Structure 1
Amino acid sequence: MQHSLANLTPLVQEISDAENAVAAMQTIVARLSDLMEVPVCSLYLKSPSRAQLILAATQGLSQSAVGKIRLNPEEGLVGTVAATKNLLNLEDASLHEKFRLFPDAEETPYRQFMAVPLIHLRQLVGVIVIQGTKRAPFSPEAEAFLVTVASQLAATLNAIQKSGDWMPRRRPGKLYKRYDGISGSTGVAVGQLTQLNSQVDLKASLPKKADDIQEELERFHHALEGAIAEVEQGEARIEKDLPEDIASLFTVYRMMLASPELSANVITLIEKGNTAIWSVRKAALDHAAVFEASEDPYMQARAEDVRNIAIKLINQMLRKKRLREPPKDTAIILAGDLISITDLSDFDKDQLVGIICRSGSALSHTAIVANALGIPAVMGVTELDIERYSGQTVIIDGNSGFVIASPPKEMTREYRQIKRNEEKFNSQLAQLKDLPAETDDGFHVTLLTNTGLLADVSPGLVNGAEGVGLYRSEIPFMVHDGFPTEDEQYRVYKQVIDAYYPRPVSMRTLDIGGDKQLPYYEIKEENPYLGWRGIRFTLDNTALQITQLRAMVRAGHGRENLQIIVPMVSRIDEIKALRALLDQVLKDLHNEGKQATAPKLGIMIEVPAAILLLEKAAPYIDFVSVGTNDLAQYLLAVDRNNPKVSRLFDPLHPAVLSALEMIQARCKTLNLPISLCGEMAADPAAVLLLIAMGFDRLSLSAHRIPMIKWVIRNTSRKDLEKLLIKAQKAEDESEIRRMTKRKLKTLGL
């Protein structure tokens, strides 16, 4: 037997080259049959919708049995392996008590039997089986090899198993397919999938070397002018349907296109002998990588804007028409890899009923505009074959974040009714804007918003935000080719502070470190999450910290609504050092004859050590803000961006809830005002428990404010305290989620 693990590499390559799921599985069984020198190799996969194991591919048995042999857990030898998640290696399968013969499979002559479970992230994917004619168990070497192969192929087969593409098609008239993604804008819609025709694969290889540098420079400048004109035309078409500051997102695109840094980088690459298209792609991907390296989802979403700008420029150079014109009376669901805000402007608001992006996030500007227009959007639908379903009816569910292709009529009717119900509910939410977020028994919650770009100011105000709970100051640093000056920062900060006056604005000092790279200041670390970031980085770069503090203090003067938050604090000397720098800044500004008012100073509680240091930190701070995303990540030792363990990340984990109760109790004793930001503040289930704990200041994404306000106004803290007592007794987050889901259902959500 050819048991060398070197054989795995070509096997994996053959699988990736297969045309489809069926071909990939057939490749696996054929190659393993050859490598193991056995007459039979079979692959059973677990049905995506039922617990049955189905023969999905075989080499050696009858092909007519594929899709027909179905086993329940513990049924037959294969079912036994699935139930126990343990291998079987038998010299004569027919002698085993669980043996079951399938005459249609033509397996009579085979006695040797070995089956290994396929397990991915603790979940059973299927079972792989080899059979032979000898009267002896397979060797330990063969056993070890098959176990290794199974562990290596489990992830690949998991993707195939979940897709359902391998399943036998029994009732073609009732087939439909669901594709999971991320909710970008809530709501449901039914319409004709319309493919955006101007898609450019920025990762595909492009011609690099230019024949005429001057010609390429002219080509780039013409594309730049054309893209700016395209943005301006799109803004003119759509601005009447948008709030003023949402419409200003088009200004962001214009600013990015007119950015000296973008032009300089592209021109430099062209002058080195590269084509304009290649240079635009290279400059954009390098800049986007800076944002993508961030742990912060908001920062990652800015990479989408950069890629959209690159696609616009390349389309100008390729002279691609953006759309295949649909009939004007057709309800459209626009689909593409990336969709920019200018693409949305090609349709009347009444015709465009939904948006699907194969990439992108809930924090993208496309999602922000979709929310403002009231258009459901699902982002990150990576598995959807847009071309295959172009022109067909699809359903999008922006509440749960999935797409249904080719739905049956009954399902379509049901979703149209859901849409009518939601329209009535949304009209109720809109009426809550100027009402307080207060429970039935009088517990008031201040709802603040998270922001970072000037163009993101409006959604918070439109949705009734009572201030900014978290302003991410990294953006001005990430869009430059060098550290921004004090005056550049001052102008940006002042616009935010003025826009929200007299509401409070909490600005976080620069949270740059190993996981948030600057294009001009690279930091390489083996473990960036435990490295040089947040307050550690800025204290070690004192001049940089002083410049930022000066800009913030100057911007806040005369408004008196500025608060400064320090991220990633884990030591008392860090707080004292930052307080000393702030005092120095105030003194220097006064000596320079500039007016300055001391802002309140707070710390982010993200590192667990900060919880235990609260009593010692209290004399040096005015408030605290809990960053639940990082706090949960550090408490659970789970990287939420790592697909192998991300399922273990849940802020409703009992340990996280216990930590939050501890923080709330200590802050109350110390008379320290406390707010909470992060995904928990936007999660209705979490908010129920946070209110019970006594959290009365939540900072969340602007578009979630109406929903959270509705939840707060439709319950009482007294009832939620009873729910919290039950949650405290739960052993895991799944049990807690079930409790909160039942409660939300009783509220009518």
Structure 2
Amino acid sequence: MHYLPIAGFIVGTFFGTATMQQPSLSALTAIVEQIARTGDPEAMMSTIVQRLCQLMHVDVCSLYLCTPDQEHLILAATEGLSREAVGKARLKLDEGLVGHIAASLSTLNLGDAPADDRFVFIPETHEMPYHRFLGVPLIHLRRLVGVLVVQGREREPFSQEVEAFLITIASQLAGSLHALQSRGDWYEQRPRSNRGVYRRHVGLKGAPGLGLGRLWLVKPHMSLDQVQPGINSDPVQERDELLAAISMVSDELESGSGHLGSHLPSDVHALFSVYQMMLHSPELTQQTLALIEAGDSAAWALRQTIEQMADQFHQSEDPYLRARGEDIANIGQRVLNQLLSRERPVIETPDEELVLAGELVSIADLADFPLQQIRGILCTQGSTLSHTAIVANALGIPAVMGLEQLEPEHHRGARVIVDGNRAEAVLNPPPPLLAEYKRMIAEEKRFMEGLEKLRDEPAVTQDGFRVTLLTNTGLLADATPGLQRGAEGVGLYRSEIPFMIHDSFPTEQEQFTLYQKVLKAYAPRPVTMRTLDIGGDKQLPYFDISESNPYLGWRGIRFTLDNAQLLISQVRAMLRANVDTDNLKLLVPMVGRVDEMQAFRQYVEKAVDSLLREGHQVKVPPIGMMIEVPSSMLLLSKLAPYIDYVSIGSNDLTQYLLAVDRNNPRVSALFDHLHPAVLVALEYILQQCKALSLPVSICGEMASDPAAVLVLTAMGYDCLSLSAYNIPRIKLLIRSINRDELLPVLEQARACNSEAEVRALLLPVLEQYGWGREPRPHLNDPDNAEAGYQ
């Protein structure tokens, strides 16, 4: 790592070197990221304090980290104090100057630290010669990570510029040090190898349930700009692999052109020819092959060639040619995908249960494995309401998201427990803990089997309030999960999922076959099919949409209206599939404007007219809209003439009301559908729908949350759409409660100021009906590390 030029760069600004230039925050961030990537925790922290001593020209730089229980601060690294004190010097969170910083979460800048009443002398540090003292707290996501301190021999405080610089450094370091601090590796001497070592990692709830299996690493997809320099050992093999990848991409383009030819405008269709010309251009092939011959790996050679070609387009003054730079980058990514797929090992049917682990496990990844052998999903990224979690919920697969501290590549083949109820991954559980989880899994299985007797029973409260329970589906054409668990229809068929696992836009006929199977499986029960809803965290592998803020961008009805040929093809397929069953309901996602529903209804009516002329006995089915965008909630009276029913998408409505990106780990903890603002919105929507005689239902994860179900039932919502796996549980809950008894609780909930208060209010009610806190293992000696639970 090259620190010295940047060191002078920063020192010049904050310490007055006249020849230095102003540093950017990105330069500062780059230093922190370089340091944070160090694999050895001890070396990482030593590097931090050494570099800061050099950057700031100070005598001492020390790093104190909080113990994971947030009770003590331990000297984790120092430059200038005695190294013998590292790991030994320990302070309570309100002890000494460092403890004061931790307790007050404020900066402290002193000219004579030993003279301060709060100063605590720790003999082993040998810090008596140092008087000036500056310390700042390290805070990440509102939690204290530690304290960063610099000291000097002078008897005057540090300057305001130095203080500002250290605060900036601390804000950057806190996130990098958070994972290390919360693990405890920096003071607990763990074995270097992770294999066979018992560990627990806490993440975010993805899907409930318990699973046990061997960890199977899902290889992450790589973008072209992530390719690192590499050399090859066999240029002939690399050459052949590149040419094979180019040939495969050519076949993909040819296939896509043929499938969509009749549905695309001529100018859009011509792009396939442009892509083919770029793909087979001599510059791309010859330059890449020349770099391979010179010793570069195929992927690295490809990246260099694509970047050079794209730069040539980007430098053009002609706007059209500049835009072609994006096309060549797209071609390069497609070729890279083929190169990587050739490296990916062929997945054979495993002989035992598996837990899939990776950054984000996609639908395509799930499709590679026999579904019955997937016992859990672990993701180092994502949140409770990422698409992976939603799919896991639909399939009844336990999932834990946002496991930032987990490094799956270091635990291949390890036995792992996925505790979706408590959002934990337990690696290499010792025998007592393993036996306890096996008991809980068996108990859960018996409980679910016991609920089968309720499959054909209605969800009616003790005082006669009837709730219709529908299922969410879309991953599988096979509709048996919902039917087996007593679904009264499909409340949300996610039509984008077949698009996501396809290698190109599916044709009208392919969609017709799929939709017909689902409609027939549920007939005469209703099936609500949502039109294509991509964007946000739902991307198509063959249609890249790159936006700075995708959740506020080109998604849902906005995308399909701008790509009317895709919308018409899909609507035609749905209408044709409905001819024999007459149980289709159309649902439009992400509606935010009246003209969007006007345009959609016009397209449906045109499709009906066209199909009738072709001899298909179709008709206009009920048309509904999703309330996800807050503006649609406020426009209900204006939208009512164009819709027959309403479906509330609780996930996105909550996200937009609270301005919280549910996939961002930094703020996902603020996402809760029991937030008072969400509850106010839900009551308002229900009142409006009743006044307009519009049937209304709720879909999303809120319909699977027992606490939320109590509130929704009390409000008067009588239709919920949820994952098939959760239907029996929610049916049992509804059949156990008395709605009249919930009305006073709802009144109290209206007075709550936060979602935490709402949940605290509802917990005793849940316990009254036998729905207490999440289950956890019960061991005779839970504090014994050997017993496996701490």
TM-score category, normalised to shorter length: 0.7 to 0.9
Q: Which residue of 2 aligns with 1:130?
A: 150
Shift of 1:153: 1.1
Equivalences for residues 563-574 of structure 1 within 5 A:
563-574=585-596
The aligned counterpart of 1:636 is: 658
Establish whether residue 585 from structure 1 lines up as the match of residue 607 from structure 2. yes
Match of 1:144 in 2: 164
* Distance in 2, Cα, partners of 1:332 & 1:589: 47
Question: How far apart in 1 are the matches of 2:36 and 2:512?
Answer: 52
| Cross-structure match for 1:97 | 117
1:666 aligns with 2:685: no
Aligned equivalent of 2:576: 554
Q: Out of 394-403 and 143-152, give the one that drifted further.
A: 394-403
1:745 offset after TM fit, Å? Answer: 3.1
Q: Distance in 2 between matches of 1:456 and 1:734?
A: 39
Secondary structure class of the residue paired with 1:631: helix
Q: Would you say the 8 A contact 1:497–1:556 is kept in 2? A: yes
- What is the Cα deviation at residue 48 of structure 1? 1.6
Equivalence for 1:429: 451
What are the equivalent positions in structure 2 for 1:314-329 lying under 5 Å apart? 314-315=343-344
The whole-number CA distance in structure 2 between the counterparts of 1:526 and 1:388 is: 33
Higher mean C-alpha displacement, 7-16 vs 732-741: 7-16
Q: 2:460 is paired with a residue of what secondary structure?
A: coil
Structure-2 separation of matches of 1:525 and 1:358: 23
Alpha-carbon distance in 2 for matches of 1:747, 1:270: 69
Deviation, structure 1 residue 456: 5.5
- 1:299 paired residue number: none
How many residues are matched?
A: 673
Helix, strand or coil at the partner of 2:163? helix
Q: 1:627 to 1:201 in 2, by over 3 A?
A: closer
Deviation at 1:146, TM superposition (A): 0.6
Whether the 8 Å contact between 1:15 and 1:27 is mirrored in structure 2 is yes
Letter of the 1:625 partner, please give it: S
Provide the C-alpha distance between the structure 1 equivalents of 2:368 and 2:598, rounded to a whole number of angstroms: 50
- What residue is the counterpart of 2:236 in the other structure? 211
Superposition deviation, residue 579 in structure 1: 2.4
1:168-192 deviation per Cα after TM superposition (whole angstroms, max 9, x unaligned): 35999xx95321346666544677x
Name which of 77, 80, 105 aligns with 1:85.
105
CA contact (8 A) 2:61 2:80 kept: yes
1:67 paired with 2:96, answer no
RMSD: 4.5
Corresponding residue for 2:744? Answer: 722
Q: 2:137 aligns with which of 109, 114, 117?
A: 117
Look up the SS of the partner of 1:578 in the other structure: helix
CA distance change for structure 1 residues 188 and 599 in 2, over 3 Å: closer, same or farther? Answer: closer
The amino acid that maps onto 2:63 is L
Alignment of 1:471-510 (within 5 A): 471-478=493-500, 483-510=505-532
Q: CA deviation at 1:574?
A: 2.6
Partners of 1:366 and 1:553 in 2: CA distance: 30
Q: Measure how far apart 1:672 and its partner are.
A: 1.0
Q: 1:20 to 1:438 in 2, by over 3 A?
A: farther
Aligned counterparts of 2:368 and 2:470: Cα–Cα separation in 1: 31
- The question of 1:164 aligning with 2:184 is answered yes
Following superposition of structure 1 onto structure 2, how do residues 671-686 of structure 1 map, counting pairs within 5 Å? 671-686=693-708
After superposition, the C-alpha distances for 1:132-176 in whole angstroms (9 at most, x for unaligned) are 11111111221111111111111111222122211335999xx95
Find the aligned partners of 1:214 and 1:5 in 2 and give their Cα distance: 43
Tell me the distance in 1 between the aligned counterparts of 2:347 and 2:647: 48
Change (3 A) 1:409 1:448: same
Q: CA deviation at 1:379?
A: 6.2
With structure 1 as the length reference, what TM-score do the two structures score?
A: 0.77
Q: Return closer, same or farther for 1:630/1:168 CA change in 2, 3 Å cut-off.
A: same
User: Is 1:461 the counterpart of 2:490 in the alignment?
Assistant: no
1:148-547 mapped onto 2 (5 Å cutoff): 148-169=168-189, 177-181=199-203, 186-188=208-210, 194=214, 196=216, 211=236, 216=241, 314-315=343-344, 337=358, 378=400, 381=403, 383-385=405-407, 395-405=417-427, 407=429, 411-412=433-434, 414-455=436-477, 457-478=479-500, 483-512=505-534, 518=540, 523=545, 525-547=547-569
Cα distance in 2 for residues equivalent to 1:706 and 1:141: 62
Q: Which residue of 2 aligns with 1:243?
A: none
Q: Distance in 1 between matches of 2:369 and 2:92?
A: 48
- CA-CA distance at 1:555 after TM superposition: 1.6
User: Structure 1 residues 24 and 467, CA, compared in 2 at 3 Å: closer, same or farther?
Assistant: same
Equivalence map 1:585-624=2 (5 Å): 585-624=607-646
Helix, strand or coil for the counterpart of 1:644? Answer: coil
2:61 is the alignment partner of 1:41: yes
Q: 1:31 aligns with which of 51, 60, 75?
A: 51
Structure 2 gap segments, 5+ residues each: 1-10, 15-21, 249-271, 307-335, 772-790
Q: 1:414 to 1:663 in 2, by over 3 A?
A: same
Question: Following the alignment from structure 2 to structure 1, what is the Cα–Cα distance between the partners of residues 90 and 407?
Answer: 29
Shift of 1:36: 1.7
Conservation of the 8 A alpha-carbon contact between 2:533 and 2:555? yes
Closer, same or farther: CA 107–322 of 1 in aligned 2, 3 Å: farther
- 1:118–1:150 CA contact under 8 A, matched in 2: yes
Aligned to 2:483, what secondary structure does the other structure show?
helix
* Counterpart AA for 1:689: V
Deviation string for 1:550-593 (max 9, x for gaps)? 22222212311111112222232332332233333333333343
Partner-residue secondary structure (3-state), 1:211: helix
Assess, with a 3 A threshold, how the Cα gap between structure 1 residues 360 and 737 changes in structure 2: closer, same or farther: closer
Change (3 A) 1:638 1:541: same
User: Which secondary structure does the structure 1 equivalent of 2:528 belong to?
Assistant: strand
Structure 1 residues 743 and 177, CA gap change in structure 2 (3 angstroms): farther
Shift, 1:668, TM fit: 1.6
Counterparts in 2 of 1:385 and 1:536: CA distance versus 1, 3 Å: closer
CA contact (8 A) 1:332 1:354 kept: no
What's the secondary structure of 2:728's corresponding residue? helix
Aligned residue in 2 for 1:245: none
- What are the within-5 Å matches in structure 2 for residues 732-743 of structure 1? 732-743=754-765
Write the distance in 2 (CA, Å) between the matches of 1:398 and 1:41.
42
1:293 is aligned to: none
Percent of pairs identical after alignment? 49
> Structure 2 vs 1, CA of residues 59 and 649 (structure 1 numbering), >3 Å: closer, same or farther?
same
- Deviation, 1:369, is 9.5
Task: Indicate whether 1:690 and 2:715 are aligned.
Answer: no
Closer, same or farther: CA 332–382 of 1 in aligned 2, 3 Å = farther
Report the residue type matching 2:236 in the other structure: D
Contact 2:383-2:663 at 8 Å conserved across structures: no
Q: After the TM superposition, which of the residue ranges 453-462 and 24-33 deviates more from structure 2?
A: 453-462
Greater CA drift, 375-384 or 8-17? 375-384
Q: Could you tell me which residue of structure 2 aligns to residue 655 of structure 1?
A: 677
Separation (CA, whole Å) in 1 of partners of 2:537 and 2:596: 20
- TM-score under structure 2 length normalisation: 0.74
Deviation readout 1:691-740 (Å, 9 max, x if unpaired)? 11111111122222222223222222223323222221111112222233
Q: Secondary structure at the match of 2:521?
A: helix
